[in-house]
């Protein structure tokens, strides 16, 4: 037995108090709070550095400079990372970066999280992590709507443009247009401009006056309004044109994007013919809100509820507990709400556990935390209602638009399936192979659901969260190399 | 800020240690490094966070690596992936 095998063997037979899947704001805060209260924690993240997407950082030892400027609340991030690192040194926290969770099992003793260590290409290693409880803090990714040309190189998700900046110090183009909906478009545009990119437009599909219906939720969080004003000032300073009720309806180019067509939308999110305008770009970033990553929660059978943005999200109680005993969820998996709310939910999850096992300090007053959570949730609900997916989006598709990028399924094929009776995304998938490729429908799933139903999913009938039995790819070789004591 | 290089389809691509293969290729002005299985269309990075699998690339002989996740290393051999990466 090698030393590594011995360590693996020991770990296999000791259950951590808490497994945390995801090292973003929710997972980091939960892990730091739980470990500081004396609980043993395994913190797993697929990234090369802690922080998730919001606090995406280059890995330790990276040599690019100037990425700090793209961030908010770095003091909070550094303090959390310091806490985690301190506990990792004493062994209380087992930190697993570069590990992708691919499935999860639950039995009477707790949770088995199956992960694959993918830190070296071609050297995947399967690992089984055991804990008494699991916090699902797996975050979210940009939601997309197809348009003609969206599969051209140089068309990115808005999140990709920001990930390149934060994680690699790289600006993806010289003339960039940002489109879609939601406040997230603003930091993406400002970040690019700060990096010296000419941002030729921010095209927000919705009318900002939609926020007026939620004046109370906004007034309760003056910080958000200040942030908005700061972005407005930055957009002005960089002379970035902002267009509302406008969006990208096509991208053009041969081997890469060379231009986009933008068009105006009416109040109901329908394209206004005759308003199309062509703009030269060498990159474009698009985002229509976010989709939570629910694979782990879905395969454990956690109950889901609808959210205003048409997503299914994990239903949790006041301590972030899901319907499945021993399984908690925090952050975007419980509803798209941003980093501050995610951190607060992670804190509540950990405080609840500390109380449950008797190491909670009842002196820690949680009333202010709960008040902050309530304000953040009201604000995020307002955000989801103010930035819906435009009802008329399918009007900008043509017959040959790619809908499923992986399996290269065109709109014409999807439409024929719907015409022949497919009435939800699952049926379209069975007929056309949409969502059956590498990404397993993560990118086209919401759009296909819209096309199949003939309407945009909402809070009452959200787009279903797909069950993905294998949540991350791994090689059969990696499975075969699992030590025998790990296989039951 | 020091830079190193890896090989991409026979040319040297400079990168800053800590950057992913995908970030380095984008920074070098190369937005695509794969062709699709059915139509042979060019693809590169799309989501940038490991979700979409558009940025698949062959690294040191291993196909289907996500360029947005693999860290660039000096001397790495990176090549355009045609189709599934297994039929060469």
Task: State how far the Cα of A330 lies from the Cα of A18, in Å rounded to an integer.
Answer: 14
Whether residue A479 is predicted with pLDDT greater than 90 in this model: the reply is no
Asked if A229 reaches chain B (Cβ–Cβ under 8 Å), the answer is no
Q: How many residues does chain A have?
A: 488
Contact list, A164 vs chain B (CB under 8 Å): 23, 26, 45, 48
Chain B nearest C-alpha distance from A441 (Å): 9
Please report the pLDDT score of residue B56 as a whole number: 95
Residue A193 sits in the same domain as residue A74: no
A161-203 residue pLDDT tens: 999 999 999 999 999 999 999 999 999 999 999 999 999 999 9
Task: State how far the Cα of A355 lies from the Cα of A357, in Å rounded to an integer.
Answer: 6
Residue A44 sits in the same domain as residue A150: no
Helix (H) or strand (E) holding A273: none
Domain endpoint, select from A334, A357, A384:
A384
Contact list, B42 vs chain A (CB under 8 Å): 152-153, 255-256
State the first-to-last Cα distance of chain B, in angstroms, to the nearest integer. Answer: 38
Asked if A153 reaches chain B (Cβ–Cβ under 8 Å), the answer is yes
Helix (H) or strand (E) holding B66: strand B62-66
Residue A148 resides in a domain: yes
Residue A349 sits in the same domain as residue A239: no
Please report the pLDDT score of residue A8 as a whole number: 55
Taking an 8 Å cut-off on Cβ atoms, the answer to whether A62 and B18 are in contact is yes
Residue A164 sits in the same domain as residue A282: yes
Asked if A169 reaches chain B (Cβ–Cβ under 8 Å), the answer is yes
Query: Phi and psi of A235, rounded to 5°?
Result: -60, -40
Give the mean model confidence (pLDDT) for residues A274-292: 98
Give the mean model confidence (pLDDT) for residues A206-216: 91
Residue to substitute from B5, B31, B63, interface A, most A β-carbons within 10 A: B31
Task: State how far the Cα of A85 lies from the Cα of A352, in Å rounded to an integer.
Answer: 23
Please report the pLDDT score of residue A2 as a whole number: 59
Residue A403 sits in the same domain as residue A378: no
CA angle in degrees (0–180, nearest 5) for A290-A294-A298: 150
Residue A150 sits in the same domain as residue A81: no
Please report the pLDDT score of residue A488 as a whole number: 42
Closest partner CB to A170 (pick from B23, B32, B47):
B23
Give the mean model confidence (pLDDT) for residues A129-157: 98
Contact list, B37 vs chain A (CB under 8 Å): 408
Lowest mean pLDDT among A253-262, A383-392, A456-465, B75-84: B75-84
Q: Which two tokens stand for residue B12?
A: 């040297």
Chain B nearest C-alpha distance from A361 (Å): 38
Residue A270 sits in the same domain as residue A296: no
What residues in chain B have their Cβ under 8 A from chain A's Cβ atoms? 1-2, 16-20, 23-24, 26-27, 31-32, 36-39, 41-54, 56, 59-62, 64-65, 68-71
Residue A187 resides in a domain: yes
A313-327 residue pLDDT tens: 999 999 999 999 999
A442-459 residue pLDDT tens: 999 999 999 999 999 999
Give CA separation, A390 vs A54, A243, A246, A265, A393, in Å.
26, 15, 10, 8, 6
Domain endpoint, select from A245, A267, A288:
A288
Residue A118 resides in a domain: yes
Residue A112 resides in a domain: yes
What CATH number is associated with residue B17? 3.10.20.440
Taking an 8 Å cut-off on Cβ atoms, the answer to whether A442 and B52 are in contact is yes
Task: State how far the Cα of A77 lies from the Cα of A66, in Å rounded to an integer.
Answer: 17
* Percent of chain A's residues with pLDDT above 90: 82
Asked if A255 reaches chain B (Cβ–Cβ under 8 Å), the answer is yes
Lowest mean pLDDT among A9-23, A106-120, A218-232, A388-402: A9-23
Residue to substitute from A54, A118, A160, interface B, most B β-carbons within 10 A: A160
Please report the pLDDT score of residue B3 as a whole number: 80
Burial A370-390 (b: 16+ CB within 10 A, else e): eebbebbbbbbbbbbbbbbbb
Residue A426 sits in the same domain as residue A404: yes
* A164 compared with A225, residue with greater pLDDT: A164
B18-32 residue pLDDT tens: 999 999 999 999 999
Task: State how far the Cα of A184 lies from the Cα of A206, in Å rounded to an integer.
Answer: 13
What CATH number is associated with residue A264? 3.50.50.60
Strand, helix or coil at B4?
Answer: strand
Taking an 8 Å cut-off on Cβ atoms, the answer to whether B36 and A121 are in contact is no
Q: Which two tokens stand for residue A395?
A: 């009007």
Residue B48 resides in a domain: yes
Banded pLDDT at A487 (limits 50, 70, 90) = low
Please, are residues B13 and B26 in contact by the beta-carbon 8 Å criterion?
A: no
Mean confidence (pLDDT) of chain A: 93
Please report the pLDDT score of residue A477 as a whole number: 85
Whether residue A34 is predicted with pLDDT greater than 90 in this model: the reply is yes
Identify the segments of chain B with pLDDT beneath 50: 88
Residue B68 resides in a domain: yes
Please report the pLDDT score of residue B88 as a whole number: 46
Please report the pLDDT score of residue A35 as a whole number: 97
Residue A31 resides in a domain: yes
Residue A267 sits in the same domain as residue A310: no
Residue A148 sits in the same domain as residue A282: yes
Residue B31 resides in a domain: yes
Asked if A67 reaches chain B (Cβ–Cβ under 8 Å), the answer is no
Please report the pLDDT score of residue A222 as a whole number: 87
Taking an 8 Å cut-off on Cβ atoms, the answer to whether A121 and B65 are in contact is yes
Domain that holds residue A18: 3-141+291-384
| Closest C-alpha among A154, A471, A205 to residue A333 | A471
Task: State how far the Cα of A141 lies from the Cα of A129, in Å rounded to an integer.
Answer: 25
Residue B86 resides in a domain: no
Residue A465 resides in a domain: no
Please report the pLDDT score of residue A244 as a whole number: 96
Residue A269 sits in the same domain as residue A165: yes
Banded pLDDT at A3 (limits 50, 70, 90) = low
Please report the pLDDT score of residue A178 as a whole number: 98
Banded pLDDT at A349 (limits 50, 70, 90) = very high
Please report the pLDDT score of residue A466 as a whole number: 81
Q: Which two tokens stand for residue A256?
A: 């890469």
Residue to substitute from B30, B52, B64, B69, interface A, most A β-carbons within 10 A: B52
Task: State how far the Cα of A467 lies from the Cα of A61, in Å rounded to an integer.
Answer: 37
Q: Where on the phi/psi map is residue A301: left (φ > 0), alpha (ψ -120 to 50), or beta? A: left
| DSSP result, A132-199 | EEEEE---EEE-----TTTTSTTEEEHHHHHHHHHHH-----SEEEEEEESTTHHHHHHHHHHTT-EE
Please report the pLDDT score of residue A335 as a whole number: 98
Residue A483 resides in a domain: no
Task: State how many domains chain B has.
Answer: 1
Asked if A163 reaches chain B (Cβ–Cβ under 8 Å), the answer is yes
Q: How many residues does chain B have?
A: 88
Residue B74 resides in a domain: yes
Task: State how many domains chain A has.
Answer: 3
Residue B87 resides in a domain: no
Banded pLDDT at A333 (limits 50, 70, 90) = very high
Whether residue A425 is predicted with pLDDT greater than 60 in this model: the reply is yes
Domain that holds residue B74: 4-81
Closest partner CB to A141 (pick from B26, B44, B51):
B51
- Beta-carbon neighbour count of residue A212 at 10 Å? 10
Residue A59 resides in a domain: yes
Give CA separation, A405 vs A144, A151, A153, A174, A345, in Å.
11, 7, 12, 25, 34
A·B CB contacts under 8 A: 125
Strands (E), A190-335: 198-204, 242-244, 246-252, 259-264, 277-280, 283-288, 290-292, 304-306, 312-314, 327-329
Task: State how far the Cα of A12 lies from the Cα of A182, in Å rounded to an integer.
Answer: 44
State the first-to-last Cα distance of chain A, in angstroms, to the nearest integer. Answer: 20
Domain endpoint, select from A349, A384, A419:
A384
Contact list, A438 vs chain B (CB under 8 Å): 53, 56
Radius of gyration of chain B from its Cα atoms, rounded to whole angstroms: 12
Please report the pLDDT score of residue A365 as a whole number: 85
Burial A5-15 (b: 16+ CB within 10 A, else e): eeebeebbeeb
Strands (E), A372-422: 402-404, 409-410
Residue A45 sits in the same domain as residue A126: yes
Residue B59 resides in a domain: yes
Banded pLDDT at A97 (limits 50, 70, 90) = very high
Task: State how far the Cα of A263 lies from the Cα of B5, in Å rounded to an integer.
Answer: 42
């Amino acid at each position: 037995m090698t030393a590594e095998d011995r360590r693996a063997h020991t770990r296999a037979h000791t259950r951590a108090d808490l497994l945390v899947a995801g090292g973003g704001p929710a997972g980091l805060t939960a892990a730091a709070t739980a470990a500081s209260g004396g609980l043993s924690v395994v913190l797993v993240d697929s990234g090369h550095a802690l922080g998730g997407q919001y606090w995406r950082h280059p890995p330790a030892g990276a040599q690019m400079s100037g990425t700090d400027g793209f961030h908010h609340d770095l003091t909070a991030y550094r303090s959390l990372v310091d806490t985690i690192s301190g506990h990792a040194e004493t062994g209380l926290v087992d930190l697993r970066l570069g590990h992708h969770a691919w499935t999860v099992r639950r039995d009477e003793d707790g949770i088995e999280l199956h992960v694959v260590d993918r830190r070296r290409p071609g050297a995947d290693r399967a690992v089984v992590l055991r804990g008494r409880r699991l916090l699902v803090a797996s975050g979210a990714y940009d939601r997309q709507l197809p348009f003609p040309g969206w599969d051209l190189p140089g068309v990115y998700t808005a999140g990709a443009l920001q990930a390149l900046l934060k994680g690699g110090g790289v600006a993806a183009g010289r003339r960039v247009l940002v489109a879609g909906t939601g406040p997230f478009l603003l930091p993406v545009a400002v970040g690019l401009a700060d990096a010296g990119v000419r941002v030729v437009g921010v095209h927000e599909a919705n009318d900002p006056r939609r926020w007026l219906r939620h004046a109370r939720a906004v007034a309760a969080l003056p910080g958000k309004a200040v942030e908005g004003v700061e972005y407005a000032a930055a957009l002005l300073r960089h002379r970035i044109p902002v267009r509302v009720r406008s969006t990208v309806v096509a991208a053009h180019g041969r081997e890469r994007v060379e231009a986009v067509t933008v068009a105006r939308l009416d109040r109901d999110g329908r394209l206004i013919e005759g308003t199309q305008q062509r703009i030269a770009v060498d990159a474009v970033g698009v985002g229509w809100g976010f989709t939570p990553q629910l694979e782990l929660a879905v395969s454990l059978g956690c109950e889901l509820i609808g959210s205003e943005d048409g997503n299914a999200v994990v239903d949790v109680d006041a301590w972030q507990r899901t319907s499945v005993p021993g399984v908690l969820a925090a952050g975007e998996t419980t509803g798209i709400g941003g980093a501050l709310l995610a951190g607060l939910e992670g804190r509540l999850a950990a405080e609840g556990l500390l109380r449950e096992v008797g190491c909670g300090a009842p002196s820690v007053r949680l009333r202010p935390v709960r008040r902050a959570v309530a304000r953040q949730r009201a604000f995020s609900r307002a955000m989801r209602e103010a930035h819906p997916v435009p009802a008329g989006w399918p009007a900008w598709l043509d017959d040959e638009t790619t809908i499923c990028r992986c399996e290269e399924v065109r709109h014409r094929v999807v439409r024929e399936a719907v015409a022949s009776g497919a009435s939800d995304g699952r049926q379209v998938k069975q007929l056309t192979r949409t969502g059956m490729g590498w990404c397993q429908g993560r990118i086209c799933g919401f759009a296909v659901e819209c096309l199949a139903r003939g309407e945009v999913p909402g809070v009452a009938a959200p787009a279903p969260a797909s069950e993905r039995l294998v949540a991350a790819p791994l090689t059969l070789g990696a499975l075969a190399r699992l030590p025998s004591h790990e296989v039951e | 800020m020091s830079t190193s290089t890896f090989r991409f389809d026979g040319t040297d691509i400079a990168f800053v240690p800590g950057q992913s293969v995908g970030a380095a290729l984008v920074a070098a002005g190369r937005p695509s490094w794969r062709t699709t299985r059915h139509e042979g269309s060019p693809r590169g990075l799309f989501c940038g966070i490991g979700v979409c699998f558009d940025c698949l690339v062959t690294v040191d002989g291993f196909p289907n690596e996500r360029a947005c996740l693999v860290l660039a290393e000096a001397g790495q051999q990176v090549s355009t992936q045609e189709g599934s990466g297994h039929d060469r």
